Amino acid sequence: MIAVLFHHCLDEIWAQRIEDFVPFQHKNSIVGNTQFEHLVTRFLTTGLLDEAILFHLLEAETNFAPHVAIKLLSSFCILYGPMIEQKCSTYIVPNFSLSYIGRQWETDGYLQLRIKVVFNNLPLPRYVFQLMTVALLNFDKDVAYPAEVFHNGTSVRHGKSATHLVHDPNSGSVTIQVSTPVETISSSWQRLIKVMKFIINQTTSVWKAACPEALVYCAHCLFKQAENPDCLKNPSWLSCFDPNQSYKIWLSTKVGELPELVTCTNAEFSKTGEPAVPKQLRYPCK
């Protein structure tokens, strides 16, 4: 079943499929040679797989009923969907997208809340990083957020905020960032940590030898676009974080009351030598 999408001779297999193609019917519509070749080309360049093509391959090349096969492929985070696109159902297989996320996500939004997870010990297989993209899309599967999918991650918009996931198999790491306005910093910190834990749980369930190490970046340093942003390695509060519990961020609750200030390696200090970094930019939860 997996070999339908992934094979060491994939180019030759798709070329043979196009050559041997016979028009077929899907949901009262005929898929002809030209449309089939167009949909195949789109899939092999963007990772967007039309339902008609997926059903056709599963019916022709496997013994699984399409709905059963898709459920299995989805459960292993190999594909995501369906999404309704111009009245057609489409699935996402990130591995086939030829586009990459640039650097623009790093400064997206007013504030950037960021955690980098480095997987030590035995290196993760490259395919596991592709599963992370689908895992993030599954995290929001009940909400129709607009998403962009790339070979090395995804960007998901939700209201005025956005969640970016960028993975790098060469360094064995994945970076998760929630770009947020100030007024939603509390919920954005919680979302970031929930997503991070979800991705780690999904990854370690597939690759038991993974040894994740979390680097929580200082949002003040990122806001200042510091060359070497400060970060905390596996802070104690991170392991104690309960996603089902409501956490209060260190925000001012009274009019005119200033937030507690802390320091970081790129902190600015007042004339009296006091640190000038709002605590909520450095430590997400009590």
Of the candidates 233, 234, 231, 237, the residue with the CA atom closest to the CA atom of residue 219: 231
Burial of 260 from C-beta contacts in 10 A (0-12 / 13-18 / 19+)? middle
pLDDT of 253 reads 43
Question: Which is it for strands 88-92 and 277-278: parallel, antiparallel or unpaired?
Answer: unpaired
From-to residues of CATH 3.30.310.50 in the chain: 104-246
pLDDT of 273 reads 64
Of the candidates 218, 278, 220, the residue with the CA atom closest to the CA atom of residue 250: 278
pLDDT above 70 coverage of the chain, percent: 86
pLDDT of 242 over the 80 cut = no
pLDDT in tens, 117-168: 999 988 899 999 999 999 999 887 655 556 789 999 999 988 899 999 999 9
The residue written with tokens 């919920």 in the block is: 187
pLDDT of 180 over the 80 cut = yes
pLDDT of 55 reads 94
pLDDT of 84 reads 81
pLDDT in tens, 36-61: 999 999 999 999 999 999 999 999 98
Structure letter (DSSP) for residue 269: B
- Hey, how many other C-beta atoms are within 10 angstroms of the C-beta on 64? 16
* Fold (topology level) of 2-96: Arc Repressor Mutant, subunit A (1.10.10)
The residue written with tokens 């895992």 in the block is: 135
pLDDT of 74 over the 80 cut = yes
Per-residue pLDDT band for 250 (boundaries 50, 70, 90) equals very low
pLDDT of 196 reads 94
Per-residue pLDDT band for 269 (boundaries 50, 70, 90) equals low
pLDDT of 240 reads 63
Distances (CA, A) of 210 to 43, 172, 200, 277: 31, 10, 9, 34
3-state secondary structure of 162: strand
pTM recorded for the entire structure: 0.87
What is the 3-class SS of 71-91, one letter each residue? HHHHHCCCCEEEEEECCEEEE
User: Which amino acid type is present at position 16?
Assistant: Q
From-to residues of CATH 1.10.10 in the chain: 2-96
Task: Give CA–CA dist 7/30, Å, rounded.
Answer: 28
Q: What is the largest CA-CA distance in the chain?
A: 79
| Mean pLDDT for the stretch of residues 92-104 | 92
Homologous superfamily of 104-246: Alpha-D-phosphohexomutase, C-terminal domain (3.30.310.50)
pLDDT of 244 over the 80 cut = no
pLDDT of 255 reads 47
pLDDT of 25 over the 70 cut = yes
First-to-final CA distance of the chain: 47
Task: Give CA–CA dist 31/10, Å, rounded.
Answer: 22
